Chains A and B, each alone.
Chain A
Amino acid sequence: MEFYKSSTPKIDFPEKIRGEAKFTDDFELPGMLYAETVRSTIAKGKIKEIKLPELPKGYYWISAKDIPGENVVNIIFSDWPIFADKEVHYVGESIGLFVGENKEVLHKLCRQISVIYEEEKPVFDLVNSYIHKEFTKGDFSKAEKNAVKTIKETYETGYQEQAYIEPQGILCYIDEDDKFYLTGSMQCPFYIRKAVARALGIAPEKVRVKQPAVGGAFGGKEHYPSLTGSQLAVAVNKIHRPVKMCYERFEDIAYTTKRHPSVSTYEAFIGKNNEILGLRIRVKLNGGAYKGCSGVVLSRALIASCNAYVFENLDVVGDVYCTNTVPTAAFRGFGSPQTIFAMEMFIHHVAKELGVDPLQLRMKYLAKQGDITTNSGKFHDPIILPQLLDKAMEMSDYKRKVVEYAKPGSNKGIGMSLFLHGCGFTGSGESTIINGKVKLVKDENDHVHVYASSADFGQGNRTTLARIVSNTLGLPAEQCTMEAADTDHTPDSGPTAASRTIIIVGFLMEKGAKQLKKIWKSGVRQEHVEGYVGPSYIHWDEDTMQGDAYPSYSWGVNVVEVSFDPVTYQIKVDHCWSTYDVGRVVDERIAVGQADGGLLQGLGYGYLEHMGIKDGKFRNRSLTDYIIPTFEDAPPMETAFIDNPFIYGANGAKGMGELTLVGGAPAIALAIEQAIGHKVNKIPATPEYIMEVINNDKR
């Protein structure tokens, strides 16, 4: 359909470019107070005593004792306290808040408070598993028995900080309806509503959460605002005045959730004809002090552990380890960037070891429609990866360059990753757990108002979701608008996560719009609510991890070209080319924006973004020492989409937000390998790491 190929103006663009959009810290309310968090200074121990400084008039101390409901943050697995009460489990854990009108005074109070601990020995190594999952495919013992040799390698990935440009912030007050009203930098308004209700021991309807302009999230604002929202609600419940808490960059980097570091060991069982009979995969994730959503992150990591390849026999085990460090949680990709990196490097290294062409080996095991997935489900839909591959190679001149750069002393490299990403929640979760709903309201002027709880934090879904509706109704784009998420006015369409917004919520929009079209009466107010009914052929058993892991998959290819400076060991990214199958693109400009931004974040993960940690404390304190790519690091990027419409997606659209990140790290790591002539088994491949591998290999 030609209409989708053109792009509509982004609905929130004018107010954002003019600096008029209101972000959390831009709200000022009469009588508003500020809050600052008092945090644990040790990694593990018991709190023996808290010696409060003398509080000036109008200043408050808020702690676990003030929580009327449960002292727990409502996350998928609720083990993280709102305020540490008797013990602390990581450096930076919240113990309480000082609240008052002057930020300087709050700073001073935070320095004056004295918390007496009985210190205990912290654990930083991956030794205490607190989540374990495993599954097999085929008959692994057969692979073991028939193997003539095995190839085994271990891969490591580091922390990654979301580094949204707007730090975390949240604001809470009691509104004129006597509800706890929260607005803040967030992804999932209904998550916060549920968390606040549980913290206060009140009905969710007594809490209203509205999304303001949000300055980037990338997963970092999926769960964390449930913690800060609960904390502020507890304060407001006690003080009865508006309270705002906006983190400074240091606080955000030091204490908010990040991507799980990982160690993955892959072992291939090779048959006598150089075929891969089976893989044994062991994945370890560092979950930090609390589980939170780590179980689901591990699921995705394991489901993605064979990436876009199909092997007959598998033995897959994964664990999340409890350490006395800042909890890790959601970040664009959600577990899959770790294992996709490992799998892409591994298949390349196995090919080299077997003396076969890496591309040919990949082609041999590439998933095809009807194949059995890693979790013994089925790839139901057509897979056009070979077309994506051909196009990417043509765009990048891959075949010529990969030979040319192999010559010694070229100091250049080209790397290619192939990858998939499961769209939406795992398995049948969309129909059994989330049950998303959307609402369409046509007013007397025939203007259609689109309501969903999908938060727009830059991805442009207020534009694309409205676009799906206007397109289905055959209306001009400006006749449909989507309002910002507000739990009092928008139905719960599920969290803004898991690349589910377009494929799931968008599909609901399309279905709803079709219904509205049927009953359309000009000049009359009409309303339609649409609820999710997923494909009936999707079956998933969470306990055994067997079945169809996702309703559908999106696919992609990244090609990255780099230059290596043999004196400074620095890597320069020269150019990138990408091809994607996201079903069918809704708005091309927005889709290219996702592709560019996601890839750069994936590249940063692969070679630049390094977080150091010592004794449970991050060494990075700012955007000066946590390096994200700048204008000068970013390469020119070329992107092509190939249509492969999905029957249960809005006009064929599938998910794409996370897909664009997951291939960046392996593509650049493979390019670096070629440029330096040594294996890269760990990311980020910083100059220090590159120097280390070159020197170690020399020895």
Chain B
Amino acid sequence: MTSVKFKLNGKDVAVELDPSMRLIDVLRDHFSLKGVKEGCGEGSCGACVVLMDGYSVNSCLLPLANVEGHEIVTIEGFKETKQFDVLQKAFAEVGGSQCGFCSPGMIIAAQSLLSHNPHPTEEEIRAHMSGNLCRCTGYQAIVQAVEIASKKGAGLW
């Protein structure tokens, strides 16, 4: 078995696992990072998104081999950042999380958006986040949360 090396939540890791394994299984089962959720297993719902080199990717579609040499950040790593704090306060303010199953993915997707476009329009938010499904909120609160975070966290992104 070959060893796959990558950076995970700020630490260098090397795993000896089947390189064709889905990244989501490696993260949940091998590293016990249970904040990464599986909602569909085919890249439709975004509950499993993680940051790869700062961009959101569906970890259910990514084979382990593809992360060799890259940097992966999950909600467990991201929740220690200032950006997370701004985002979570904004989500709390407007009710951007109901059942909470999609929430870690939503936060990661919002981070991916704001880090590349710190002041997105409503249309840009909806377009960028459209890979993440939510069945509870009707999305409006999440759009508002990203708008609030963009304002209150000005300078962070």
Contact A16 B97 (CB under 8 A): yes
Interface-facing stretch out of A278-286, A311-319, A586-594? A586-594
Q: How many residues of A contact B (CB 8 A)?
A: 58
The one of B97, B135, B140 that contacts A637, using a Cβ cutoff of 8 Å: B140
Which residue in chain A gives the minimum CB-CB distance to B74?
A: A19
Which residue in chain B gives the minimum CB-CB distance to A576?
A: B138
Contact B130 A630 (CB under 8 A): yes
Q: Does A124 contact B (CB under 8 A)?
A: no
How many Å lie between the Cα of A10 and that of B99 in the bound state?
Answer: 11
Contact B107 A622 (CB under 8 A): no
Q: Does B55 contact A (CB under 8 A)?
A: no
Q: How far is the CB of B127 from chain A (nearest CB, A)?
A: 6
Interface of chain A residues 591 through 619 with chain B (CB within 8 A):
592-593, 595-601
Interface-facing stretch out of A50-58, A212-220, A422-430? A212-220
Chain B neighbourhood of A213, CB < 8 A: 99-101
Contact status of A19 and B104, CB under 8 A, knowing A10-B97, A634-B139: yes
Contact A23 B125 (CB under 8 A): no
Chain B neighbourhood of A18, CB < 8 A: 35, 75, 79, 88, 104
Contact A628 B133 (CB under 8 A): yes
Contact status of A214 and B99, CB under 8 A, knowing A249-B40, A596-B140, A631-B126: yes
Contact status of A16 and B103, CB under 8 A, knowing A589-B94, A596-B140: yes
The one of A167, A596, A628, A632 that contacts B137, using a Cβ cutoff of 8 Å: A596
Chain B neighbourhood of A166, CB < 8 A: 37, 39, 99, 101
How many Å lie between the Cα of A17 and that of B32 in the bound state?
Answer: 17
Which residue in chain B gives the minimum CB-CB distance to A7?
A: B95
Chain B neighbourhood of A632, CB < 8 A: 126-127, 130
Q: Does B148 contact A (CB under 8 A)?
A: no
Contact status of A164 and B126, CB under 8 A, knowing A9-B92, A17-B88, A637-B140: no
Interface size range on B against A: 35 or more
Interface of chain A residues 229 through 248 with chain B (CB within 8 A):
248
Contact status of A19 and B135, CB under 8 A, knowing A458-B99, A630-B130: no
Contact A631 B130 (CB under 8 A): yes
Q: Does A441 contact B (CB under 8 A)?
A: no
Contact status of A17 and B97, CB under 8 A, knowing A165-B102, A249-B39, A631-B129: yes
What does the 1/0 interface line of A79-99 toward B look like (CB < 8 Å)? 000000000000000000000
Chain A neighbourhood of B41, CB < 8 A: 248-249
Q: Does A22 contact B (CB under 8 A)?
A: yes
Contact A17 B136 (CB under 8 A): no
Q: Does A150 contact B (CB under 8 A)?
A: no
Interface-facing stretch out of B42-50, B63-71, B149-157? B42-50
How many Å lie between the Cα of A217 and that of B139 in the bound state?
Answer: 17
How many Å lie between the Cα of A20 and that of B100 in the bound state?
Answer: 10
Contact status of A630 and B133, CB under 8 A, knowing A18-B79, A26-B34: yes
Q: Does A524 contact B (CB under 8 A)?
A: no
Q: Does B91 contact A (CB under 8 A)?
A: yes
Which of B42, B45, B101 has the most chain A CB atoms closer than 10 A to its own CB? Answer: B101
Contact status of A215 and B99, CB under 8 A, knowing A167-B39, A596-B137, A631-B132: yes
Contact B35 A23 (CB under 8 A): no
Q: How far is the CB of B65 from chain A (nearest CB, A)?
A: 19
Chain B neighbourhood of A16, CB < 8 A: 97, 99-100, 103
Contact A216 B135 (CB under 8 A): yes
How many Å lie between the Cα of A20 and that of B36 in the bound state?
Answer: 10
How many Å lie between the Cα of A22 and that of B126 in the bound state?
Answer: 28
What does the 1/0 interface line of A7-38 toward B look like (CB < 8 Å)? 10110111111111111011010000000000
Contact B99 A457 (CB under 8 A): yes
What does the 1/0 interface line of B85-125 toward A look like (CB < 8 Å)? 00010011011011111111001000000000000001001
Q: How far is the CB of A325 from chain B (nearest CB, A)?
A: 23
Q: Does B143 contact A (CB under 8 A)?
A: yes
Q: Does A636 contact B (CB under 8 A)?
A: yes
Contact B92 A13 (CB under 8 A): yes
Chain A neighbourhood of B36, CB < 8 A: 19
The one of A17, A19, A28 that contacts B91, using a Cβ cutoff of 8 Å: A17
How many Å lie between the Cα of A28 and that of B30 in the bound state?
Answer: 12
The one of A216, A248, A600 that contacts B99, using a Cβ cutoff of 8 Å: A216
How many Å lie between the Cα of A598 and that of B98 in the bound state?
Answer: 12
The one of B98, B129, B130, B143 that contacts A593, using a Cβ cutoff of 8 Å: B98
Q: Does A504 contact B (CB under 8 A)?
A: no
Contact A628 B135 (CB under 8 A): yes
Chain B neighbourhood of A23, CB < 8 A: 37, 101
Q: How far is the CB of B64 from chain A (nearest CB, A)?
A: 16
Contact A636 B35 (CB under 8 A): no
Chain A neighbourhood of B129, CB < 8 A: 631
Contact B103 A597 (CB under 8 A): no
Chain A neighbourhood of B107, CB < 8 A: 17
Which residue in chain B gives the minimum CB-CB distance to A596?
A: B138
Which residue in chain B gives the minimum CB-CB distance to A598?
A: B138
Q: Does A184 contact B (CB under 8 A)?
A: no
How many Å lie between the Cα of A622 and that of B140 in the bound state?
Answer: 24
Contact B136 A636 (CB under 8 A): no
Chain B neighbourhood of A20, CB < 8 A: 35
Which residue in chain A gives the minimum CB-CB distance to B36?
A: A19
Chain A neighbourhood of B75, CB < 8 A: 18-19
Q: Does A623 contact B (CB under 8 A)?
A: yes
Which residue in chain A gives the minimum CB-CB distance to B107?
A: A17
Chain A neighbourhood of B133, CB < 8 A: 165, 623, 628, 630
Contact status of A634 and B97, CB under 8 A, knowing A23-B37, A167-B39, A622-B42: no
The one of A214, A457, A622, A634 that contacts B44, using a Cβ cutoff of 8 Å: A622
Q: Does A460 contact B (CB under 8 A)?
A: yes
Chain B neighbourhood of A597, CB < 8 A: 98, 135-138
Contact A22 B34 (CB under 8 A): yes
What does the 1/0 interface line of A167-206 toward B look like (CB < 8 Å)? 1000000000000000000000000000000000000000
Which residue in chain B gives the minimum CB-CB distance to A26?
A: B34
Contact B45 A623 (CB under 8 A): yes
How many Å lie between the Cα of A642 and that of B44 in the bound state?
Answer: 38
How many Å lie between the Cα of A167 and that of B125 in the bound state?
Answer: 26
Q: How far is the CB of B117 from chain A (nearest CB, A)?
A: 15
Chain B neighbourhood of A592, CB < 8 A: 95, 141
Which residues of chain A have a CB within 8 Å of any CB of chain B? 7, 9-10, 12-23, 25-26, 28, 162-167, 213-218, 248-249, 457-460, 589-590, 592-593, 595-601, 622-624, 628-632, 634, 636-637
User: 7 tightest A-B contacts by CB?
Assistant: A19-B35, A16-B100, A215-B101, A458-B99, A596-B138, A458-B98, A19-B75
| Selected A-B contacts with CB under 8 Å, 12 pairs | A7-B95, A16-B99, A16-B100, A19-B34, A19-B74, A22-B34, A162-B135, A165-B37, A215-B99, A631-B143, A632-B127, A634-B140
Known: A216-B98, A216-B99, A589-B95. 5 other contacts (CB 8 A): A25-B38, A26-B34, A215-B102, A216-B135, A624-B40
Which residues of chain B have a CB within 8 Å of any CB of chain A? 32, 34-42, 44-45, 47, 74-76, 79, 88, 91-92, 94-95, 97-104, 107, 122, 125-127, 129-130, 132-143
